[in-house]
Amino acid sequence: MMQVKKLSREAYEEKLAALGVAIPVEQLPVWLEFESTIPGRSPWGYAVIEDEGITIAAICFAQYETHGYRYLRAHHGPIWVEEPTAETETAALEALRAFVHAEDRRQVFCRLAVKHDLPATRRCLSTLPYDTTVIIDLTGGDDEILARMKPRGRRDVRKALRECTLTFSDETDRAQKSFDEYYEVMVETGKRDGFSPAPIEDYRSMLRILGPEHCRLFAGRDGDQVITWTIATISGTRATRYYGASRSCDARFLATDRLIYFECCELSRMGCTEYDQMGIGSEFAPETLNLNTFKTKFAKDGVRMIAPDRDLPVRGGFYGALVRLKALRSRLR
């Protein structure tokens, strides 16, 4: 019989060390520290899922408070010891639902990574989850990284290496001291691409709390001016391209190609073996299909399926009311 056991932070960290699997940065306790700096978010707890006394997964949750209700989110969790079958995942989610309901009846649902499309889960009420990403293999050094790109990727990177005159470097220390110039570029990116950036304090907190061990900022400059930059997170040997921004100038396309190659080479030297480009479009997520041509050119064999975020209702009636309210608002637009 499956059951969920609550853990202290210390016990959770010991369990992660013993699992022997890759740990997403969002499932590290330090990520909960970062999230707790964002208004409406706070650490909720750590747990393991056991089957007949054997640990099969670990998970940590952040609590989100929004629009008068609460829910739990486990970014890229649970962390499975072995890839779960649909039956295993179903039993584990039922154990989690019962655990959360018993621990905290205020929680309306859990948002977590669920591989299979199960009757117990629902498509996310908000956010745009993805089930496909691109992983760039960072092993073998600079030349090997370039050789594993698609022909278009190699062509574009080589052109950028020849023609892009920007200076590229790891600016993590500089960004920790002041994020203002980088945020200016992000605001410009948002206006051009039609999104609202997170508040500047979120980026500052991310760099400060995660620290250089788990978070790096790479940038390309024209003289003293930042033209393009990336924030990459690191956990173990996997890096993830979390945020990126560029100025609205003709040089940005060459600059971004060269920056990504620079990131790959630098992260490889730091000991990373994989670089996750954080999602592309698919039948599950058609809204982001426009990202595919660009992201996939950097890895000929890099497309991977992952478990997308799904909602697990804990208070079914309340969750159903939220679904109906969302549908009503959509009809009124």
Q: Provide the residue ranges of all domains of the chain, joining segments of one domain with +.
A: 2-127+308-332, 132-305
Q: Give Cβ neighbours of residue 273 (< 8 Å, ≥ 6 apart).
A: 137, 138, 139, 237, 238
Whole-model pTM?
0.95
- Does position 330 have pLDDT exceeding 90, yes or no? no
Q: Using one digit for the tens of pLDDT, what is the confidence trace for 207-219?
A: 999 999 999 999 9
3-state secondary structure at position 131: coil
Tell me if 58 sits within 8 A of 9, measured CB to CB. Answer: no
The reply to whether 132-305 shares the fold of 2-127+308-332 is: yes
CATH architecture of 132-305: 3-Layer(aba) Sandwich (3.40)
CATH 3.10.129.10 correct for 2-127+308-332: no
Q: How confident is the model at residue 301 (pLDDT cuts 50, 70, 90)?
A: very high
- Give the ranges where 4-140 is alpha helix by DSSP (H): 9-19, 29-35, 86-103
Q: Give Cβ neighbours of residue 4 (< 8 Å, ≥ 6 apart).
A: 47, 48, 49, 50, 95, 96, 98, 99
- Does position 253 have pLDDT exceeding 90, yes or no? no
pLDDT for the residue numbered 1:
84
Tell me if 172 sits within 8 A of 217, measured CB to CB. Answer: yes
Going by C-alpha positions, the residue among 297, 265, 263, 280 that lies closest to residue 156 is 297
Q: Give Cβ neighbours of residue 23 (< 8 Å, ≥ 6 apart).
A: 16, 79, 235, 236
